[in-house]
Structure 1
Amino acid sequence: MAPTATTQNPSEKDEIEATIRKLASLKPLGSSTYRKDIKAGYDHSFLENVPPTTRARYERHGVDISKGYPYVPELDSIPKFVDEAYAIRNEDYPYIERGKNADPEKKALLGAAKEVIHLTKHIGTEIVGLQLSELTDKQKDELALLIAERVVVFFRDQDLSPQKQLELGHYWGQVEVHPQVPRVSEELNGISVIWQDYYRKKYGLGLTFKKSIGGNSQWHTDLVHEHQPAGITHLHNDAIPSVGGDTVWSSGYAAYDKLSPAFQKFLDGKTAIYKSAHQYVDRENPLKGPKHVEREHPLVRTHPATGWKSLFVNRSMTDRIVGLEPEESKLILEYLFSVYEKNLDIQVRFNWKPTKEGLGTSALWDNRISQHNAVWDHEGNENRHGTRVTSLAEIPYFDENSKSQREALGLSLD
């Protein structure tokens, strides 16, 4: 016999809503890798752990951390429900691809540099002798194109203020303000703190020598769950281990070119579901457990500046391929992850150490065409601290008339 429908009266609805709110308030939700509760506001107890080079940088550029460091958004402002997280950036936002109309020869940028070093054939370029804080708009446009072509570009010996880093981010797109991640201060929205020591001690991120995969130390692409995912990310490290603490990047262009023509044709035009790193309560089914924000994007996307195809997957946040059976999707994604992760010839490993004491190093990469992995070999025995600004880009798209990188450059497809 089928159950009869019942109608909730207003008091019952209010009681259910109150229960849901109470569930959400028991533990502010964050990454599934965190083992401790998130503490909101300025953290004065951890102030003494701020690396000396970080403190000196902030003092030089008028950043006051006397109230505590870092700043974690107040609990009331952190979304606890998945619909609230979706609503943060759920509408189309105007985007200008700065690299699209830049001088292809990049004479203003490269001509002003003391040296231009291509670190590998497929990925990674270091620019010597320029300060990011002094770039003209024309040079910024050319840098955006260089990043689009070389995937990641490095600048050592930078005396860069967090304020200037944020200004650069706004030039390249809508700056992502993460609702949960610690930031430099309450005022400097959009500057996230990348400091694994803090996450280990305050959030219980379980990085050890035996368990060195977690947090930023795993293959991932930033913010793929966004309606308009990340374009250029700029990480400036102001505290760098004397040995180790490297980061590895892998090229999505080259990963796509590694695939057979038949497999490329199979993947072209397909979409996948991408999930957020953080989790939230499902208001409609709160007892089911935490839920990720999910978005559907092309599995192969076209970069608007280069017109080249890139394989848009990453192990941490690509959940499933739309239209395939779960086991089919799992097998294909596992292979695609391995193409990114195992082909050393499409990767670059970079050591951040500057040549001048007291200065920092910047890396700027394009998340539309890459994955990266911070190597946990310094084990927290030396300081590694940085500030990150991410500029969101266009809604991902696939142009069936676009070419692969090697095809466009006239290189062998074997």
Structure 2
Amino acid sequence: MSNTETVNKQSLDIVNDLPIDKQIEQLIKNHKELSISRSRKSIVNDEQDGLKLLPESSRKRLEDGGIDLSKGYPEVPNRDEIPIFVDEAHAIRDYDVPFVDRGSQADPEKKALFGAATEIIHLTDKVGTEIVGLQLENLTDQQKDELALLIAERVVVFFRDQKLSPKAQYELGDYYGNVEKHPQVPHVTGLPGATVIWVDYGLSKGLDLNFNNANFANWDSVRYLGYGNQGWHTDLVHERQPAGYTHLHLDSIPGVGGDTIWSSGYAAYDKLSDEFKKFLDGKKAIYVSADAYLDRNDPLGGPKKVERVHPLVRTHPATGWKFLFVNRGMTKRILGVSPIESDLILNFLFDIYEKNADIQVRFKWTNTKSGYGTSAIWDNRISQHRNVWDHEGKSPRHGTRVTSLAEIPYFDPESKSQRETLGLPLKKWDA
């Protein structure tokens, strides 16, 4: 038995003898105005609109790189492929994938990488290094391995003046791990896994981002995480094997503004007292996805996020150093303590990352050559990052991002912290 309902002038068949979850699934997938995703505005796009908005420097890079733009840009996953229920989202990549960190195989002195560069610039004492004189597209495997180790040590490494196609960027990400293909975020046409980073496009589709609310996620990440990338965060912590090396290449850069900031998880851990480190070592926490879905068994009960349990303090497989693995938006609760204790502890740990300028680097995206782009490659395991939306969209900012998923998180109780390993002083709180 069936009857027909009309919603916003679009006819839908409701089959009453189907389970309620199947009816809801049909309703959402067949009606363009319905979506449970925080990215609804971008999902119902007309890809030709994006092509009209695409900056000329970005279009040239894409076309020179063999990307077919005849069908529009960016490409959004088909609605039928976007998960609606949390169990579907949880099942994505819910299996072990072999992983060996390329940095663990590298020459510690990095002779092949440093010997080919014209200059190595450490931007701060603890975080951020810029390499001058190399093209990422031309690195040998030995240089890629040494670069992975450098990123694992320095958190983030920068390359200006890069001629880099999205396909070459994807291939580098594939070398470093299992490339993440997001089920609902726009990507380069014909190249799932090369995610499009383009707030201007979101604004054209109704994204409510402005001067007044741009940083709300840094006060209340639960309500305001979807306002953009201005809140401190770590990507894909809900994965069975969370993000490792992430590569963002900007091919259209504002003349002023649009910087990105990174903060070190090694240094955040070393900011803690010895007694507090002992308390946290071995603890586990619940980590959640940025996107929310419906519960199949309670579809009217509100949005649910994918949850996974990982160590609160992790050990990096390439450096062997301990690091603090938390972020305000997606670390839900510490296991083994009360909810009140968990909130108090986590908010303190979030502040360690966010409020210590001496463990952060702020990078200004610029090129010295017209027609070239700039790349940042960072280790998501050992960092948090955030964008600074101070240019307010007055000039275009467009790029592509490739994220390589890494190991199943683990904690080695025999591992040491960064400062401990390097013989740097640590305060003893005896009084």
Structures share a fold, TM > 0.5? yes
**Stretches of 4+ moved more than 4 A in 1?**
none
Q: Following superposition of structure 1 onto structure 2, how do residues 48-87 of structure 1 map, counting pairs within 5 Å?
A: 48-87=52-91
Q: 8 Å contact 2:246–2:378 — kept in the other structure?
A: yes
- CA deviation map 1:183-211 (0-9, x unaligned): 011x2111000001112222x33211111
Aligned to 1:6: none
Which secondary structure state, in structure 2, belongs to the residue aligned with residue 390 of structure 1? strand
Say whether 1:211 aligns with 2:192: no
Aligned to 2:366: 353
Aligned to 1:258: 271
- For 2:173, the aligned partner's letter is G
- For 1:195, the aligned partner's letter is W
Q: 8 Å contact 1:20–1:283 — kept in the other structure?
A: no
Q: 8 Å contact 1:126–1:154 — kept in the other structure?
A: yes
For structure 2, the 5+ residue unaligned runs are 1-14, 216-226
CA distance in 1, matches of 2:41, 2:142: 46
Q: Following superposition of structure 1 onto structure 2, how do residues 22-171 of structure 1 map, counting pairs within 5 Å?
A: 22=26, 24-25=28-29, 27-31=34-38, 34=39, 36=41, 38-39=43-44, 43-171=47-175
Aligned to 1:243: 256
Residues 134 and 262 of structure 1, relative CA distance in 2, 3 Å threshold:
same
- CA deviation map 1:89-129 (0-9, x unaligned): 00010001100010000000011000000000100000000
1:271 to 277, 280, 284: 284
CA distance in 1, matches of 2:26, 2:302: 14
Q: Following superposition of structure 1 onto structure 2, how do residues 227-376 of structure 1 map, counting pairs within 5 Å?
A: 227-376=240-389
CA distance in 2, matches of 1:45, 1:401: 54
CA distance in 1, matches of 2:25, 2:75: 25
Task: Choose 397-406 or 209-218, whichever is displaced more.
Answer: 209-218
CA distance in 2, matches of 1:24, 1:59: 35
Q: 8 Å contact 2:42–2:202 — kept in the other structure?
A: no
How far apart are residue 64 of structure 1 and its match?
1.7
Q: 8 Å contact 2:333–2:339 — kept in the other structure?
A: yes
Matched length: 399
CA distance in 1, matches of 2:296, 2:232: 31
How far apart are residue 12 of structure 1 and its match?
7.5
Aligned to 1:194: 197
Say whether 1:380 aligns with 2:380: no
- For 2:90, the aligned partner's letter is Y
- CA deviation map 1:303-353 (0-9, x unaligned): 000000000000111111112211111111100000000000000000011
State the percentage of identical aligned residues.
Answer: 66
CA distance in 2, matches of 1:386, 1:378: 16
Q: 8 Å contact 2:245–2:403 — kept in the other structure?
A: yes
- For 1:39, the aligned partner's letter is V
How far apart are residue 36 of structure 1 and its match?
3.7
CA distance in 1, matches of 2:191, 2:40: 27
CA distance in 1, matches of 2:65, 2:169: 12
Q: 8 Å contact 2:214–2:228 — kept in the other structure?
A: no
CA distance in 2, matches of 1:136, 1:359: 21
How far apart are residue 35 of structure 1 and its match?
6.8
Residues 13 and 322 of structure 1, relative CA distance in 2, 3 Å threshold:
farther
Residues 166 and 35 of structure 1, relative CA distance in 2, 3 Å threshold:
closer
- CA deviation map 1:228-264 (0-9, x unaligned): 0000000000000001110000000000000011111
How far apart are residue 46 of structure 1 and its match?
2.5
Which secondary structure state, in structure 1, belongs to the residue aligned with residue 18 of structure 2? helix
Q: 8 Å contact 2:258–2:390 — kept in the other structure?
A: yes
CA distance in 1, matches of 2:22, 2:279: 49
Q: 8 Å contact 2:48–2:71 — kept in the other structure?
A: yes
